[in-house]
A and B are shown apart, each in its own frame.
Chain A
Amino acid sequence: MRILAIDTSTHVMGIALAEDDKLLAEYTTNFKKNHSLRLMPAINQMLTELEIDPKQLDAIAVAKGPGSYTGVRIGVTTAKTMAWSLGIPVYGISSLQMLARNGRNFQGLICPFMDARRDRIYTGLYTFDGTYLKTEEKDQIILLEDWLSIVKEKEKPVLFLSQEWNKHKGMIHDTLGDQVRTGDFSMNQPHPESLLALAYEQEQAQPAHSIVPEYAQMAEAEKKWLASKEGRGYE
């Protein structure tokens, strides 16, 4: 079974390819440069070097968000269209769960997060049971302040994993004190091979048509429209 993994949901662009239980290739960059332009050349180079024809792929795993709206769409569109045209299924995997996997073997709570602007973060809470990652609090968009009070009540050590750790570490340390654990730079960066591992753990892949991005929130225009329809103010 050959699976191609694609992640373009943040500034990190990662692709990987596994054959059964062997990781054959992994390519990651971490800088803000056009994923739409660079994704397919990267896939092409990887498959060419491995001498694997696209038609020899058995499934595609993709980070489906949350993350950058445009970034997530580039990955999901590429994954679902390749899968549809090749007649193979897709594993849509949470971009946060993918990041949380960097904290496997940690005994407490694992908190991956991404900055979502205006003091909010995309986040969720995971635990590792020795074999699998389990969801403790589902992926969501939330004010960092509100999230930290939820986490504080858990009264357990929390491993924070994020590319934006430095931006928010002050507030996190101030609120949670000695509950806080941190990872190194590699743990703070999503790795595409995590998508492969998580895909293997999933029981079933999805048909290509049905996979859609997880934005974790409505578009701004839709929020405003709903607010006006319900006759309340838009905050």
Chain B
Amino acid sequence: MTIKTDIKDNEIILAIETSCDETAAAVIQGGNQVLSNVIASQIQSHKRFGGVVPEIASRHHTESITGILEEAMTKADVSFSDLDAVAVTEGPGLVGALLVGVNAAKAIAFSHQLPLLPVHHIAGHIQAARLEREWDYPALALVVSGGHTELVILQADGEYEVIGQTRDDAAGEAYDKVARTLGLPYPGGPQVDKLAAEGTPDVKLPIAWLEPDSYDFSFSGLKSAVINTLHNAEQRGEVIPPENVAASFQQSVIEVLTEKTKRAAEQYQVKQVVLAGGVAANQGLRHAMENMFASSSVELTIPPFSFCTDNAAMIGAAAHVQWKKNITADWDLNGVPDLTLY
């Protein structure tokens, strides 16, 4: 691309996120000032299907994209001439959904001859921490969401090293499936969290620690164990209080997440730990992380709820790192559903 970025520190970025079922746009200044953060959630529409339907998500994105962008610009009180760059989630995510954001971003960047900054969705979740405080390196991020469960080491700005990830279901996915088994409405993750707070974790469920030195996760066995336990009880005509099932499931998930995070924090001697992603809104997980690092010298950062679930402010925060490194995309930028972290 021929457009030169004039690298300054207080740049204004219009950021777009459409990787799943939220159409989101935000205006971010200098990587940490949120001038606006607008999200159109499609939850009501997908609720009737019990999960996100990719084609429906793509249709909603196309309908609402320019309205959301306009709202973000208006709320931030900026015009196109104030913008220094346009950022967008390149992947991973639903391909049809990603395409809407990517093509919208290219359309704006091209129309106003602005640099185009590609952002990895997980880098966005991690960089939401930047909206809270400056990074202290080395740092460790635990990213937990409907699509991801990852432990990532950061040695410097935007240098991500994935040291652990899920081998099957993401934690959030397991939450949603357990919620469905318990007959809780979609989206089920927060419902399980709420129910767990009322229960006693007295149901025996497995924890998949995997190999002793592994930072990977596995939740499909746990999920199956919940389903089997409920099924077997039903066969015997017994009723296990659902709040106890939720509490036991939640305890198993949280124990493996917090233990591996702690071990990685020690091994890599990190100064900061960040809890990121939609499941960071989970009260049980938040408290467990807070307790785990309460008496340590490690700084624990948990971005506010609105920056943990999918949003565009986090994409703008991650784009700031791209901006400083002058990493721009050409007009052939495309949505990449299985993009690896950069």
Q: Which residues of A come within 8 Å of B, CB atoms? A: 34, 36-41, 43-44, 54-55, 69-70, 73-74, 76-82, 84-86, 208-209, 212-213, 215, 219-222, 225
Contacts and interface: CB of A to CB of B under 8 A. Distances in A.
A85 B14 CA distance: 12
B293 interface: no
B62 interface: yes
B110 A73 contact: no
Contacts of A213: 59, 62
Interface in B261-282: none
Contact of A44 (B53, B108, B110): B110
Given A41-B332, A74-B99, A85-B111, A221 B106 contact: no
A221 B62 contact: no
B107 A81 contact: yes
Interface residues of B, number: 35
Contacts of A212: 62-63
Contacts of B59: 73, 213, 215, 219
A36 B62 contact: no
A85 B103 contact: no
Contacts of A38: 332
Interface in B100-114: 100, 102-104, 106-108, 110-113
B70 A77 contact: no
Contact of B58 (A37, A44, A73): A73
A43 B66 CA distance: 20
20 contacts: A34-B334, A36-B102, A41-B331, A43-B110, A55-B112, A70-B58, A73-B99, A77-B99, A78-B104, A78-B106, A80-B66, A81-B65, A81-B103, A81-B104, A84-B66, A85-B107, A85-B108, A212-B62, A213-B62, A221-B53
Given A40-B107, A85-B69, 11 more contacts: A36-B335, A37-B334, A40-B110, A73-B99, A76-B62, A78-B104, A85-B107, A85-B111, A208-B66, A215-B59, A220-B55
Contact of A77 (B56, B107, B334): B107
A37 B330 CA distance: 10
A75 B87 CA distance: 20
B56 A219 contact: yes
Contact of B112 (A37, A85, A209, A215): A85
Contacts of B69: 81, 84-85
Contact of B99 (A70, A220, A222): A70
Interface string B173-188: 0000000000000000
A44 B107 CA distance: 11
A56 to B, nearest CB: 11
B55 A73 contact: no
Given A40-B331, A73-B99, A54 B113 contact: yes
Interface string B323-337: 000000011111100
Contacts of A36: 99, 102-103, 334-335
Interface in B18-74: 48-49, 53, 55-56, 58-59, 61-63, 65-67, 69-70
A84 B102 CA distance: 16
B96 interface: yes
A212 B100 CA distance: 12
